[in-house]
Structure 1
Amino acid sequence: MGFYKVVVLTFVAAIFGGCYSFRGIAIDQSITTFYVAPFDNRAPNATPTLAPDFTERLKDKIRNESRLIFSDTDPDVEFTGAITGFQVSAEAPQPGEQIAFNKLTITVAVDYINNRTTDEKLKITKITKSFYSEFPSDQNLLDIQDALILTITTQLVEDIFTAAFTNW
């Protein structure tokens, strides 16, 4: 009887495991290719490499975590956009206190274009995302900027991927 239960449970797990994903990715089967256009850098204080690095991270995310193939010729879906914000701000202290943390915030505006849909309302989806990371006020931003940017852009790429490809 125990062997029978194991076989049945394995069968059920295999069936439902193929139908469900905890990531919730829901890409229409007719969509097979994607393109990520080089992102513009519209944030005056941003590092010169931020936009190209962000573009590559988004490409890598889609390439590695979906079945889509990169194509710059007649892609099924496209991502275009810009880095629109790169701000360093001090966390507001209480009266009489010193500032303990600064915050680096990066904002990205993305157009997700579905070239395969016939529904004009679904053709272009505008996605704007911001994320920040705090750092001690006694640290120089230039010394930790690369690590902060990596942390922030990794989360922004995850948020954009989720907004474009999931039903959550």
Structure 2
Amino acid sequence: MSKKKFIIPLILVFTLISQNSCKVSYSFTGASIPPEAKTYSVQLFQNLASIVNPTLANYITEELKNRFLTQTRLTPVADFGDFAFSGQIVTYDVSPTAIQGNEIAAQNRLTIAVKVKFVNAIDPKQSFDKTFSQYAVFSSSQNFSQVEQALVQEIVEKLIDDIFNAAASNW
């Protein structure tokens, strides 16, 4: 009998909380997505960088799709999702970063920048059009072609984190 006295008020409290909760859906990933948002779409990123990595555009596009698929309740659609992404790769550049006394680079830096247009059909004030840039440093003694794939994976992971957080975390 005493369990019923405890459980019934507890159920009522949770019911009242759920009915009076704010209009933002939170997840354990840090995403805060309005409950009205049901879909997302990601258009293939165009590669407009002066140096073109032939697999990068598809890789970034698929990683962004996968992030929303695995960390939100949104459903992917081909076009015009409630959250819609498009963009361009604007920088893919290798440059020296740490010059030694004999004017030889000790380290190099791979930088990737993407310009992202995000349209939030539910709350247009949250939409943006901005450039995200990330880099990774590697030793100049390493052959770039041998470390390129690992560097790209590291950089793209950071870029996707930045884009996801900008679009789905309003706090």
1:166 alignment partner in structure 2? 169
Correspondence for 1:116: 122
Query: What is the TM-score when the length of structure 1 is the normalising length?
Result: 0.81
Structure 1 gaps of 5+ residues are: 1-6
Q: CA RMSD in A?
A: 2.6
Amino acid aligned to 1:142: S
- Aligned runs of 1:19-168 on 2, under 5 Å? 23-93=29-99, 95-96=101-102, 98-117=104-123, 119=124, 122=125, 124-168=127-171
The 3-state SS of whatever aligns with 2:65 is helix
Residue pairs, 1:4-19, within 5 angstroms: none
Number of residue-to-residue matches in the alignment? 153
- Which of the two has higher C-alpha Rg? 2
Aligned equivalents of 2:133, 2:26: Cα separation in 1: 29
Structure 2 residue runs of 5 or longer lacking an equivalent are 1-5, 18-24
Given residue 153 of structure 1, which amino acid in structure 2 is its aligned partner? V
Change (3 A) 1:44 1:98: closer
The percentage of counterpart residues that share the same residue type is: 36
Contact 1:93 1:99 in 2 (8 A): yes
Greater RCO, CA 8 A, separation 6+: 1
* Maintained 8 Å contact 1:127/1:160: no
One-letter code aligned to 2:170: N
Residue 143 of structure 2 aligns to which amino acid in structure 1?
N
The TM-score normalised by the length of structure 2 is 0.80
